[in-house]
Amino acid sequence: MQAPRTEGDDSCLPELVSHLRDNRTGLREEWAQRITDAHLLSAMSEEEIFSEVTSVFDKYVDTLETGSVESLQEYAEDLSERIIPRGVETHEVLGIVLLLRDVLARSLFQKYQEDFELLNRVLDAYEPAANRIAVIVGVSFVQERERVIGQQQATIRELSTPVLQVRERLLALPIIGELDSQRAAQLTDQLLNAVRSNRARVVVIDITGVPSIDKNVANHLVQTVRACRLMGAAVLVTGLSSDIARTLVTLGVDLSMMDTVGDLQGGIEEAEHLLGYEVRKAQAASPEDKR
Amino acid sequence: MPVPILKQGHYLVASIQDALSDGEVLELQENLLKQIGDFRARGIIVDVTAMDVIDSFASRSLRTVALTTRLRGAEMVIVGIQPDVASAMVQFGLLMDDINTALNLEEGLEFLDRWTAERADADGG
């Protein structure tokens, strides 16, 4: 069976391609119509869909003709880059490509329905090529999406751990959002480097923005505190909510080596005290001058 | 090469320049403890800025020196632990909670000054 198939490939593809070219307008319209009917690509307007449909169709036929996938792949990547920010989903992209495959297959059925033998050969040529195209388009969409997600994760990681210098030798680290192992490790890293470059002696870690804490996260915090100590910086942890405090006690995490202060303000005041700062209101000194 | 130990006022400064073998660590430990007595030093600073790795043996030996120093009426401070080294030590559970540490040599000297001043106050009162 294998031999006739390959033969069919060679002889039928040109015929197939010219058939698709001849019926370009009709097939394109039918495809666009079916996309709209299936409520796919709801994020795009009908005109946009039609223009994308046209170029996808042409690339599709080109790929069938030449068998070279490079230009299609390039186009698919470019297309994914354009449509992902608009909220197009994976199922929509796959749905569209499969619709095109169906539309074209139907038109082949219609044309060759008289000659079953020939139809078979044409389909033998058409199906593997069409499936390969569907796979390429789907895979490049998913890859592009993963790339975007990876990029966003990196951005979030960068954003989420600012180490702030409050005063000479005093750093504050407000932690916002869930902590996981990866983030905790990165945070420790960033903090230790900041301790070195700012020559910090006291660090205030504020966890008001951490919604929940488990054993792992608590241990990470303890590790961070210990590492800072090794570098000669004292650490104050502030903003433990009553829920979190209760959880920690229930879990039995040993926090005896962590100094905690109720809120960020208290922590900063305590740190200033440790560093020998004395903060006074400017007005408090002035009554003497007024006299 | 043995780690040079410099006398600086009432303090001894040991500046480790390279990764140490276990033998060299023991040698340093012995020399430090001996020189505390010889010079009647009030404090020791061990500078580990140049060390890329502080393993369990090194950290235990340093800790032993620190605790022994304390028994002899002096105080020890380890300075210059690098960020990566600090993370690694904590992850491997090499605890130094009872040991003094400071960021660099300058801070270490300042710490010892403060410590001796406090002790002098306590003795005076």
CA distance A193 to chain B (A): 6
What total of structural domains would you count in chain A?
2
Global pTM reads 0.62
CA–CA distances in Å: residue B113 to residues B7, B11, B122: 15, 10, 14
This model of the complex carries an ipTM of 0.80
pLDDT at A205 over 70: yes
Structural domains in chain B, sorted by start = 5-124 (3.30.750.24)
- Helices A90-112/A2-22 angle, 10° precision: 100
Q: Can you tell me the mean pLDDT for B20-35? A: 90
Q: Which of A173-177, A198-202, B121-125 has the highest mean pLDDT?
A: A198-202
Q: Can you tell me the mean pLDDT for A150-175? A: 84
pLDDT, residue B110, reads 93
Residues A96 and A144 in one domain: yes
pLDDT band of residue A254 (cuts 50, 70, 90) is confident
Residues A35 and A78 in one domain: yes
pLDDT, residue A288, reads 55
- DSSP SS3 for B125: coil
- Mean pLDDT taken over chain A: 83
**Residues A262, A238: Cα–Cα separation, whole Å:** 6
Does A194 contact B at CB distance below 8 Å? Answer: no
Mutate to test the interface with A, among B49, B90, B97, B114 (most CBs of A within 10 A): B90
Residues A146 and A169 in one domain: no
Exposed / middle / buried, residue A288 (Cβ in 10 Å: 0-12, 13-18, 19+): exposed
Residues A94 and A183 in one domain: no
Tell me the Ramachandran region of residue B84: left when phi exceeds 0, alpha when psi lies from -120 to 50, beta otherwise: alpha
Domain residues for the domain of A212 are 164-278
pLDDT at A290 over 70: no
pLDDT at A268 over 80: yes
Identify which has the larger pLDDT, B71 or A178. Answer: B71
Nearest to A193 among B83, B85, B95 (CB): B83
- Mean pLDDT taken over chain B: 90
Mutate to test the interface with B, among A220, A221, A230 (most CBs of B within 10 A): A230
Residues A139 and A36 in one domain: yes
Q: Can you tell me the mean pLDDT for A41-60? A: 80
pLDDT at A194 over 90: yes
Residues A169 and A123 in one domain: no
Q: Which of A155, A178, A211 is the last residue of a domain?
A: A155
pLDDT, residue B125, reads 54
Q: Can you tell me the mean pLDDT for A198-224? A: 88
Q: At A179, list the tokens.
A: 């902590």
CA distance B80 to chain A (A): 7
- Ranking A85-94, B9-18, B67-76 by mean pLDDT, the lowest is A85-94
pLDDT band of residue A284 (cuts 50, 70, 90) is low
Residue type, A51: S
pLDDT, residue A1, reads 38
Q: Can you tell me the mean pLDDT for A223-239? A: 91
pLDDT at B85 over 50: yes
pLDDT band of residue A7 (cuts 50, 70, 90) is very low
CA distance A169 to chain B (A): 11
CA–CA distances in Å: residue A15 to residues A7, A31, A149, A288: 14, 21, 43, 102
Does B107 contact A at CB distance below 8 Å? Answer: yes
Residues A217 and A258 in one domain: yes
